Amino acid sequence: MTIHHKMDKPDHRNRLDDMAQGLLSTGMDRPDGPLKVTGTATYAHEDHQPAMLHGVLARATIARGTLDGVLAEAVESLPGVKAVMWGDKFPRNPAQGTANEAPVQGSSEIYYIGQPIALVVAETFEQARHGAQALELQMTLGKAVTDPHADDIAVERPKDQQTSQGDLDAAMQDAAFTVDRTYTTPGHSSAPMEPHTAVAWWAGDQLFVRSSSQMLKYNKNEIADAVGISPKAVHMKSPYVGGGFGSKLGISPDAVTAALASRELGVPVSVMMSRQQVFEATMRRSETVQHFRLAADAEGLLTGIGHIARVSQLPDESFSEPVTQATPFLYRGENRETGIEIVRVNSTCAGSVRAPGEAVGITALEIAMDELAVASGIDPVELRRRNIPEQDPSDGRAFSSHKLEDALDDGAQSFGWADREKGRSDGDWLIGYGMASAVRVNMIGKSAARVTLNPDGTVLIETDMTDIGTGTYAILTQIAGELLGVSQDKIETRLGDSDLPESAGSGGSWGASSAGSSVFLACEKMRQDIAKKLGCDEGDLTLKDGIATAANQQTPLSDLIGDAPMIAEGEIEPGETMTAVRQATFGAFFAEVGVNCVTGEARVRRMHGSFAAGRILNPKTARSQCLGGMTFGIGMALTEELIHDARDGHLVNRDLAEYHIPVNADVPQLTVNFLHERDPYANPMQAKGIGELGICGAGASIVNAIFDATGVRVRDLPATMDKILPGLPDL
């Protein structure tokens, strides 16, 4: 039986506060943890099928033009090579997240350097790689647009991405304090640990794909559309995913080409993208140019906010980085203007990278807010506190819950903000302190799960939801265990199989709330059925350690189940609570940074984050997500940038040796606090997304600390030594 629930009304029951098992909201270890650390959790590339061949993609070496010929014969004669393939079904780039259809396809038109345009299939990976490297591609160079900052570049301004209210120009003119500055952020790569990989094989007209994917509900439709079959003929599995951060939201070239090659050759084919190909041919975060105008009165109250952002994208792609997404509601101000500008370039496709929009938009806004704090002489924490709106300033909607002030206060106290010492130094290191607000929009997606309670008291949870390192296996286990009164060791959670009930998938910080709510609904239905057998209301039923208690009578759960298992399917979908109120998560970052007065090197010495994200389902996995987000913020502030050669558009730093993500030596001790919060508008569990909040504004706290230490304001991220050194004070 399927229990369908649409979130049209808030759920004020606080139902999970009253359970007895004591499993939920504890730091339960991941059930999949031992499998991963012992190497027995198989990832996509480790799924070796009988008679499997290996494919390696060949890339375009021009930024725009046409593929006129493939000199395949010489490569086909190489030892072990079985086929050289190209054609009109080859994907130009991955599908965007939740696209639900094939991306742009075809090898003949070339749009960027690194575009996959051919595939060499051989008996071994090494033979296929050699063939791909030896393959001669005949290309005609066309006119490419490779510099997103060129003066003569065409600019699109979509009407639905421009907003204006009041008179910002007048507010700027009348303000006691203003900030009118431009900030730039470079492109970023998701850089997941596991490269994009797929193994595909056919059984008649049925396609089987073992892949590294985040959203199987959409991915099976995308690959079906790409190869020209019904989605019902596709069976995908992604039980373990070694990181995604948005780059595996949509189906990517490895899966499509593996399926095409397997169909032609009649045997399983594995295609793994190299690290360089992951950088070149999967999603990047667009670089941004963001112009802020802030106007405030003598008390520091904002009267105007302007935020215009320019981003880049390939031709024919509808996604654009939603840079201004949270600007309309984070702070007060009656005069407002936001806008997105898009330039089309022949570069790697832009798409969702962890926290699309706020990751870069709030980082820039929070640097601008620090500049306003300096201009007005108001403490940065106090300035933000004064400007917290009572309702969404852009449309007057109430907030479903709002914990920014609490996060600012908790973070300031935990960090020791009031006791910081101005002008401090430690040998050659100038010490500074910075802070920033954190915010991320909150949402759920349509999601289903099936729960089976067996006669022996064991529980099986089934959904196509994925675990990309976020802790899904643990959280769903905890939800079911808490509601049904069953211990962790008696629960099996099966994920990442497209034949299972369709979930929202992993993305947008909605995975735990969406998939978790579907498990909640299924278990709640079971509780109702058990209560009916006992002749009591569900609210009066206690389930703990396999025992049902009602009216002071205890009954073993196995006696109530009978000979046949109890099965229930829960399905949640967003409703009116998504639009009736403003839903968001909030937090605050605090950082201590040292800047070397000789070299200009900046190092984070300590960092703290306080966050409110509804009910915390597992504080250990939630904390891990925040630590990862703050580490992302360190990279954004100090080291990470995709560098494209403006002459031909090629990506210069296309591996982990040259794209500098933070390493152990860059990351100090990070601390995290969670605030108590229940948001009845979010979902029946009153939980919110946590996976992306930890990056949104984190980098700004570091950049602001650099200014506090040195007086150098870096507005072009990352804050590398060459940008700090010229402005250092003489000592």
The CA distance from 288 to 312, in Å, is 8
Please report where in the chains the tokens 């031709």 appear, as a residue.
Answer: 315
Ramachandran angles phi, psi of 142, nearest 5°: -105, -170
The CA distance from 97 to 352, in Å, is 7
Q: Is 67 helix (H, G, I), strand (E, B) or coil?
A: strand
Q: Is the distance from CB of 31 to CB of 488 less than 8 angstroms?
A: yes
Q: Provide CB contacts within 8 A for 339, sequence distance 6+.
A: 157, 161, 162, 163, 307, 308, 309, 324
Spacing of C-alpha 458 from chain mean position = 33
Catalytic-residue membership of 692: yes
The CA distance from 25 to 675, in Å, is 13
Please report where in the chains the tokens 């600007």 appear, as a residue.
Answer: 327
SS3 assignment for 466-521: CCCCCCHHHHHHHHHHHHHCCCHHHEEEECCECCCCCCCCCCCCCHHHHHHHHHHH
Structure tokens at 90: 């080859």
The CA distance from 269 to 48, in Å, is 10
Q: Is 563 helix (H, G, I), strand (E, B) or coil?
A: coil
Ramachandran angles phi, psi of 453, nearest 5°: -105, 110
Based on its alpha-carbon atoms, the radius of gyration of the chain, rounded to whole angstroms, reads 27
The CA distance from 430 to 426, in Å, is 6
Spacing of C-alpha 33 from chain mean position = 21
Comparing CA positions, the residue from 559, 522, 552 lying closest to residue 536 is 552
- Options 371, 482, 677, 692, the catalytic residue: 692
Q: Which residues of 564-579 are buried (b: 16+ CB within 10 A; e: fewer)?
A: eebbbbbbbbbeebbe
The CA distance from 677 to 691, in Å, is 17
Comparing CA positions, the residue from 639, 155, 116, 184 lying closest to residue 348 is 116
Handedness of CA 609, 612, 613, 616 (dihedral sign): positive
Please report where in the chains the tokens 């490895």 appear, as a residue.
Answer: 254
Report the relative pairing of strands 302-313 and 335-344 from DSSP bridges. parallel
Comparing CA positions, the residue from 716, 699, 725, 723 lying closest to residue 593 is 699
Handedness of CA 102, 108, 113, 117 (dihedral sign): positive
Residue 237 CB-half CA count within 13 A: 15
Size of the chain in residues: 731
Catalytic residues: 692
